[in-house]
Chains A and B, each alone.
Chain A
Amino acid sequence: KAGVTQTPRYLIKTRGQQVTLSCSPISGHRSVSWYQQTPGQGLQFLFEYFSETQRNKGNFPGRFSGRQFSNSRSEMNVSTLELGDSALYLCASSRGEGRHHSPLHFGNGTRLTVT
């Protein structure tokens, strides 16, 4: 069974630009969550999508947005990039039925560097 796939693996952008990251969940998983991971802040929750609807949102500015498609694939977008957005962005999928937390299966992330 294929795992969670994130593309691209590495990305270098300039301040003020925007970026789109992609995530393909495990087949059959309907929930996709996004996290930002930095050495100082650890894992910070961005948002969760379930069946194309945003189910939960973390405490990030509106420059961070996401969406989920009918095939459960998800994208997140960051507009007007700032230096502080440099981080590892992780996507995780789960079965997500109901409101109960099943274990998350993470991809290996996209390493974003903003210069």
Chain B
Amino acid sequence: EDQVTQSPEALRLQEGESSSLNCSYTVSGLRGLFWYRQDPGKGPEFLFTLYSAGEEKEKERLKATLTKKESFLHITAPKPEDSATYLCACVMDSNYQLIWGAGTKLIIKP
């Protein structure tokens, strides 16, 4: 069964404390993996698309990487404004549908 699993469910960090969020997938043929950020009361905001193993994308304090089984969202020296829920989603080869993970709620304490 095609599945996307994100871990941990929630992560609390001190400001400046770097860490990583995980998105593991078991889909039959990956066409692409997306990372989104969602703030409370708002819709998800697109961050990155990754297409093949070994690919990396960066934006400010965030860096996304992709292997054949999982993706990591690394956050370096986070600030309180990085607090949000981070969602990943995979596009399957078979029917081009997006499969969403449940998200990781990231809280950065000043």
Interface residues of A in 53-82 (CB under 8 A from B): 56
A-B CB proximity, top 5 nearest: A106-B43, A103-B46, A43-B100, A42-B102, A101-B91
Chain A nearest CB from B10 CB (Å) reads 13
B41: A residues at CB distance < 8 A:
108
Main secondary structure on chain B at its contact with chain A?
strand
Q: Taking beta carbons and an 8 Å cutoff, which residues of B are in contact with A?
A: 31-32, 34, 36, 41-46, 49, 87, 89, 91, 95-98, 100-103
Hey, what's the 0/1 contact readout for A99-114 against B, CB within 8 Å counting as 1? 1110111111100000
Looking at the complex, which one of B31, B43, B95 makes contact with A90 (CB distance below 8 Å)? B43
Collect the chain A residues with CB atoms within 8 Å of residue B89's CB. 43
Roughly how many angstroms separate A103 CA and B43 CA in the complex, as a whole number?
13
A41 → chain B closest CB, angstroms: 9
Is B49 touching A45 in the complex (CB atoms < 8 A)? Answer: no
Q: State the Cβ distance, A22 to closest chain B Cβ, in Å.
A: 15
Contact residues in A for B96 (Cβ distance below 8 Å): 56, 99-101
A103 and B97 in contact (CB under 8 A), knowing A4-B43, A92-B43, A108-B41?
A: no
Q: List 15 A-B contacts (CB under 8 A).
A: A4-B43, A43-B89, A45-B100, A56-B97, A100-B31, A101-B31, A101-B91, A101-B98, A103-B49, A104-B34, A104-B36, A104-B44, A106-B44, A108-B42, A108-B43
Measured CB to CB, the nearest residue on chain A to B90 is A101
> Of B31, B43, B46, B95, which contacts A109 at CB under 8 A?
B43
| A42 touching B100, Cβ below 8 Å | yes
Residues of A within 8 A of B (CB): 4, 42-43, 45, 56, 90, 92, 99-101, 103-109
- Which of B34, B43, B97, B100 makes the CB contact (< 8 A) with A107? B43
By a CB distance below 8 angstroms, the chain A residues around B44 are 43, 90, 104, 106
Q: A43-B89, A56-B96, A108-B43 are in contact. List 18 more A-B contacts (CB 8 A).
A: A42-B100, A43-B44, A56-B95, A90-B44, A92-B43, A99-B96, A100-B31, A101-B34, A101-B91, A101-B96, A103-B34, A103-B46, A104-B98, A106-B45, A108-B41, A108-B42, A109-B42, A109-B43
